[in-house]
């Protein structure tokens, strides 16, 4: 407990209490002494739980916990959108406009090769979301036009004076090999369309009926989400209590209404949805199920309720729906809408981040689907005839909105206060001007103990105040124990040591945050794996305050993998760095994990629900791949048993074993092999059966053969022939090229003749010219029948069955393989690709180019900063760069220190292609056998690729290669033993999990682990020289 006396001049005492509470995260009692003097007494143990302020604070914290958990649930949107912005060249376009340039989405799109009229709107939504994450600066011009500028984080993604940026490294981690991603988002912006439709050939509302597994995932997620959120809504929102009849429009199976009528039994509920939905709805007391089309009419009631309906639809659809709702309620009725609220200008708190991410997600799924601002909701309401809107409360990131027909008096003070308090609940601190004003009017009367600290270290006290108030101050001694604090925001202190150091720290933080963004997809994948493994439920079952080690948790899992505890511990350590779990040490090195208020939201609660299924929904392959296809090839829905290696192939949803139906667009008839095969191949069937199903055999790239249900192949001998199904084995005449545009295809022979459906119902090869994509005789709809493998099949990759031995790749995403690796053993990369990460690039030249470009950019960017700070090379004569690849790192070193002779050492097949650099000699060899001698050995990002055993062998070779006064200079990230929540440590812990998925034994290490390696290899110790760009320069000395 401590006490500080304050003299307050012309300011409200209540703000001082609030100010100190927010600054210190500590509760205080404010007591008036005399005149303008007040005392603040810290009271950590005082029982204030029931005071209005504390209850409100707990409410705010509960909301923040949910908002952060919800943000985690769809966190993959951030990395995908950032990647699309990089591919679109957004940051470079802004940078080329000038240092302080601010451009609208329209101005940015004008610099892109696109004719899509929706591109500015779509891009604006992406940039708005990025701005909410502080990746861009954003402000308003005029009333509604957002403009965007670069900040210190974005500049790291802009090609700099050396021609490099973090962008290529982002591209590497978002590449298909690492993450099958939303690359179709870029294509949708440049070319138009809805990403989901571009991948699936249908709308998101149509798809679940064709995929029962996904339908179950979707329904379970919606049920869990609805149950969880609506329970909280009903604790706060009282708008149902005076109603008689409520209609839930788009109510699904009626679960929502059941919750409402259970709390208000006097209500009569009408659950209204499409007929095929409500026909399977269970019976609930007080709920009647009614089928219909909400865009035609809506059943009448005292109020209409719509939960997460409007964000699925365009403004035009919403207006039509709201007009129907208007007609269905009496003059004093209203429409209760439950939706997220999107701020016009992006804000950085978790609730708004979550909403803006969901907005981009909606854009990828539904035609016109989007989140809206208050102003947009008001425009919809008045456009549909309503008098106005009441924004009643804010719960679990959603706001119940009342659209009312007639103007009514203002709500009572209590509800108005509720509105005010809930809207401010997501703010963590008072407005900045209030803080500054309060700070400028403070005088400090120090206690004897505080007086001693101020007298001994006044600079430290000033720095403390600067960190608390985010404001610079002058501290002036008045008399005795009194000091005055004068805010001085404009004072020119740029050259003072403290300010220079602050700028250095900020530069480091900017880089750490950008690096965290680069591999941010690791967070969502790891969290999903923890959910699938039941980690949170296991901890919860151990007791309210339980703390378990990874070993304890793994003991409850169905696994015999001896490495499971170590692997799981690294995942949990990373999650704890993101405040998803609590973590502490038992003994010296054993981490134990407990639940916090965030992770409890992923634990099955008393209602049997959690946020876990919604996380599973957004991480499901159907959503995860909904934007696949840009720089990396898409992993589409169709064949779950095999997909193409990430080579340069096309149409990779049409893999070997895929069953398809082919329908003529002009005749609206299906292609049929009568009797399952033979001479008669017609285009005359109204509905498909087994005769109308063909199994694809990929031959090469976009070339396929079509096999009938009886095993024969479609065949054609030349121009003008009729297609038959008589070939027992395939050759050139049974091979066809497939050109695809969404679900429409052209099929042509290897001689270039297009197949067409004749008016007589035949399939022939006499179409004249090149067909367009309209409904002509040569354009067909290709319908994917099943994602399951039926009958016999061939093993093949994107280059055909003759090269099946090259790489056989499982469709399962890395996140699922991470779960499998924990339960069954192995390295996720090996499980997916059948080889080590170091072997793979030689078989995939496109990915090899991606990784080389990324490493070059990363190395150039970081080494430049390293050489500005680290001076360890200046007194050396000969430096050996072990694992130096093509020698770019040594070239930077020797360019700064021309007297240094550089030996670039790597595998022979690597250095044989290395370019010539002044002062650099390329030497081939195996670092695990021996290392060339030199005054010093340099290793950059080498040790984290290898196990402790490999590292010891390498370090011992390095020890032999240097003189007694030599050292080994190691550049690596440092992992804290106990997780910390700053960006640098989050980035490192995410990278640690990523290394686990890629390299046998690869991992990030703590200082203690590095010291153990050094001493075991014979070194006397380590000097930790400097920390730059999230990496530590260490000198291992003899």
Give me the active site residues, please: 311
Ramachandran class of 103: left when φ > 0, alpha when ψ lies in -120 to 50, beta otherwise: beta
What is the spatial distance between Cα 233 and Cα 217, in angstroms, rounded to a whole number? Answer: 24
Whether 840 and 647 have beta carbons less than 8 Å apart is answered as no
**Three-class secondary structure assignment of 172-226:** HHCCCCCCCCCCHHHHHHHHCCCHHHHHHCCCCCCHHHHCHHHHHHHHHHHHHHH
Q: At what angle do helices 76-87 and 350-365 cross, to 10 degrees?
A: 70
Give the C-alpha separation, 695 to 712, whole Å. 10
| Cα–Cα distance for residue pair 501/488, rounded to 1 Å | 18
Query: Do 964 and 995 form a contact (C-beta atoms < 8 A)?
Result: no
- The kind and range of the H/E element at 984 are helix 983-998
- The answer to whether 654 touches 638, Cβ cutoff 8 Å, is yes
- What lies within 8 Å, CB to CB, of 910 at 6+ separation is 885, 886, 924
3-state secondary structure of 902: strand
CB of 948 within 8 A of CB of 1013? yes
Cβ 491 vs Cβ 462: under 8 Å: no
Inter-residue contact 362 to 80 (CB < 8 Å):
no
Q: By the 8 A CB rule, do 526 and 577 touch?
A: no
Q: Which residue carries 């709805």 as its tokens?
A: 281
Decide: 149 and 101 in contact? Cβ < 8 Å: yes
Task: Give CA angle at 1034 (1030, 1038), nearest 5°.
Answer: 170
Q: Which helix (H) or strand (E) holds 149?
A: strand 145-149
Q: Decide the pairing of beta strands 334-339 and 303-307.
A: parallel
Q: How far apart are CA 990 and CA 213, in angstroms?
A: 31
Residue 843 carries which DSSP code?
G
Structure tokens at 924: 């081939």
Burial class (CB in 10 A: 0-12, 13-18, 19+), 895: middle
303-307: strand order across its sheet:
287-291, 268-273, 245-249, 303-307, 334-339, 399-404, 388-391
Q: Which of 968, 764, 995, 799 is nearest to 872 (CA)?
A: 968
Torsion of CA 468, 474, 476, 481, to 10 degrees: 0
- Cβ neighbours, 10 Å, residue 464: 13
Other Cβ atoms within 10 Å of 721 Cβ, number: 16
Q: What is the 3-state secondary structure (H, E, C) of 576-587?
A: HHCCCCEEEEEC
What H or E segment, with its residue span, contains residue 270? strand 268-273
Q: Which helix or strand (DSSP H or E) is residue 350 part of?
A: helix 350-365
* Pick from 344, 342, 363, 339: nearest CA to 353: 342
At 414, list the tokens.
């209590």
Which tokens sit at 622? Answer: 């159907």
Question: Measured between alpha carbons, how far is 760 from 562 in angstroms, rounded to an integer?
Answer: 67
For residue 254, give the 3-state DSSP assignment: coil
Count, in order, helices (H) and strands (E) of the chain.
34, 36
């Amino acid at each position: 407990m401590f006490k500080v006396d304050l003299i307050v001049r012309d300011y409200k005492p209540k703000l001082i209490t609030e100010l100190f509470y927010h600054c210190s995260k500590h509760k205080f009692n404010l007591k008036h002494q005399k005149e303008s003097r007040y005392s603040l007494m810290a009271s950590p143990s005082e029982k204030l739980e029931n005071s209005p302020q504390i209850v409100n604070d707990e409410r705010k914290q509960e909301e923040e916990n949910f908002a952060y958990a919800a943000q985690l649930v769809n966190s993959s949107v951030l990395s995908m959108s950032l990647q699309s912005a990089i591919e679109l060249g957004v940051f470079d376009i802004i940078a080329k406009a000038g240092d302080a340039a601010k451009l609208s989405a329209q101005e940015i799109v004008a610099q892109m090769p696109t004719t899509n009229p929706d591109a500015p709107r779509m891009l604006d939504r992406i940039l708005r979301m990025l701005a909410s994450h502080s990746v861009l600066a954003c402000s308003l011009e005029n009333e509604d036009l957002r403009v965007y500028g670069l900040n210190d984080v974005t500049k790291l993604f802009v090609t700099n004076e050396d021609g490099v940026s973090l962008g290529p490294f982002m591209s590497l981690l978002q590449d298909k090999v690492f993450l099958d991603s939303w690359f179709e988002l870029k294509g949708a912006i440049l070319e138009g369309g809805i990403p989901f439709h571009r991948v699936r050939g249908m709308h998101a509302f149509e798809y679940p009926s064709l995929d029962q597994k996904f339908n179950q995932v979707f329904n379970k997620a919606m049920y869990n989400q609805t149950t969880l959120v609506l329970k909280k809504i009903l604790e706060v929102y009282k708008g149902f209590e005076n109603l008689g009849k409520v209609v839930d429009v788009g109510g699904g199976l009626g679960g929502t209404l059941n919750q409402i009528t259970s709390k208000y039994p006097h209500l009569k509920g009408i659950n209204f949805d499409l007929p095929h939905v409500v026909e399977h709805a269970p019976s609930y007391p007080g709920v009647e199920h009614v089928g219909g089309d909400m865009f035609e009419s809506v059943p009448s009631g005292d109020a209409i309720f719509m939960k997460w309906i409007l964000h699925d639809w365009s403004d035009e659809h919403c207006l039509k729906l709201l007009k129907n709702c208007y007609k269905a309620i009496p003059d004093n009725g209203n429409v209760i809408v439950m939706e997220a609220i999107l701020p016009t200008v992006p804000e950085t708190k978790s609730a708004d981040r979550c909403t803006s991410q969901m907005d981009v997600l909606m854009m990828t799924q539904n035609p016109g689907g989007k989140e809206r601002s208050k102003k947009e909701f008001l425009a919809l309401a008045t456009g549909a005839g309503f008098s106005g809107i009441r924004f009643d409360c804010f719960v679990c990131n959603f706001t119940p909105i009342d659209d009312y027909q007639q103007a009514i008096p203002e709500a009572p003070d209590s509800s108005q206060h509720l509105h005010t308090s809930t809207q401010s609940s997501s703010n963590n601190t008072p407005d900045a001007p209030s803080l500054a004003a309060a700070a400028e009017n403070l005088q400090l009367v120090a206690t004897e103990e505080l007086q001693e600290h101020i007298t001994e270290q006044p600079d430290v006290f000033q720095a403390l105040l600067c960190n608390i108030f985010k404001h610079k101050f002058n501290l002036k001694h008045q008399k005795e124990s009194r000091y005055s604090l004068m805010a001085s925001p404009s004072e020119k202190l740029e050259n003072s040591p403290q300010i220079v150091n602050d700028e250095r720290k900020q530069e480091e933080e900017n880089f750490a945050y950008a690096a965290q963004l680069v591999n941010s997809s690791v967070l969502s994948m790891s969290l999903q794996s923890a959910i699938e493994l039941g980690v949170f439920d296991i901890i919860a079952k151990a007791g309210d305050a339980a703390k378990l080690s990874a070993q304890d948790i793994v003991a409850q899992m169905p696994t015999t993998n001896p490495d499971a505890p170590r692997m799981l511990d690294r995942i949990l350590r990373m999650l704890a760095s993101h405040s998803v779990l609590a973590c502490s040490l038992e003994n010296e090195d054993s981490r134990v994990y407990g639940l916090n208020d965030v992770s409890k939201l992923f634990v099955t609660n008393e209602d049997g629900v959690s946020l876990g299924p919604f996380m599973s929904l957004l991480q499901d392959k159907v959503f995860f791949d909904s934007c696949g296809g840009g720089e990396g090839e898409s992993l589409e829905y169709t064949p779950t048993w095999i997909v193409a290696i990430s080579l340069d192939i096309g149409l990779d949803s049409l893999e070997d074993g895929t069953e398809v139906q082919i329908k003529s667009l002009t005749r609206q008839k299906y292609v049929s092999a009568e009797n399952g095969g033979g001479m008669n191949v017609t285009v005359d069937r109204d509905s498909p059966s087994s005769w109308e199903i063909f199994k694809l055999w990929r031959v090469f790239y976009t070339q396929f053969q079509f096999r009938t249900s009886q095993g024969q192949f479609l065949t054609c001998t030349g121009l003008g022939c009729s297609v038959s199904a008589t070939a027992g084995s395939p050759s050139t005449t049974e091979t066809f090229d497939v050109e695809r545009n969404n679900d429409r295809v052209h099929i042509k022979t290897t001689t270039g003749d297009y197949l067409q459906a004749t008016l007589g119902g035949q399939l022939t090869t006499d179409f004249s010219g090149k067909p367009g994509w309209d409904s002509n005789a040569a354009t067909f709809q290709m319908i994917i029948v099943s994602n399951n493998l039926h009958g016999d099949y061939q093993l093949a990759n994107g280059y055909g069955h003759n090269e099946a031995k090259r790489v056989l790749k499982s469709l399962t995403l890395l996140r699922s393989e991470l779960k499998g690796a924990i339960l069954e053993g192995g390295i996720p990369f090996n499980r997916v690709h059948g080889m080590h990460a170091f072997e793979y690039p030689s078989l995939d030249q496109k990915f090899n180019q991606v990784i080389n470009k990324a490493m070059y950019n990363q190395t150039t960017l970081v080494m430049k900063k390293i050489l500005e700070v680290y001076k360890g090379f200046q007194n050396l004569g000969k430096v050996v760069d072990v694992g130096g690849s093509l020698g770019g790192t040594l070239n930077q070193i020797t360019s700064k220190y021309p007297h240094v002779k550089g030996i670039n050492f790597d595998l022979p097949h690597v250095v044989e292609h290395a370019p010539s650099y002044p002062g650099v000699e390329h030497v081939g060899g195996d670092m695990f056998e021996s290392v060339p001698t030199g005054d010093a050995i340099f290793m950059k990002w080498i040790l984290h690729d290898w196990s402790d055993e490999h590292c010891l062998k390498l370090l011992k070779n390095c020890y032999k290669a240097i003189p007694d006064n030599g050292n080994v200079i190691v550049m690596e990230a440092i992992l804290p033993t106990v997780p910390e929540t700053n960006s640098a440590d989050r980035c490192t812990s995410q990278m640690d999990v990523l290394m686990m998925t890629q390299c046998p034994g690869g991992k990030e290490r703590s200082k203690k682990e590095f010291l153990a390696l050094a001493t075991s290899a014979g070194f006397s110790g380590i000097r930790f020289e400097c920390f730059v760009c999230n990496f530590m320069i260490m000198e291992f000395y003899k």
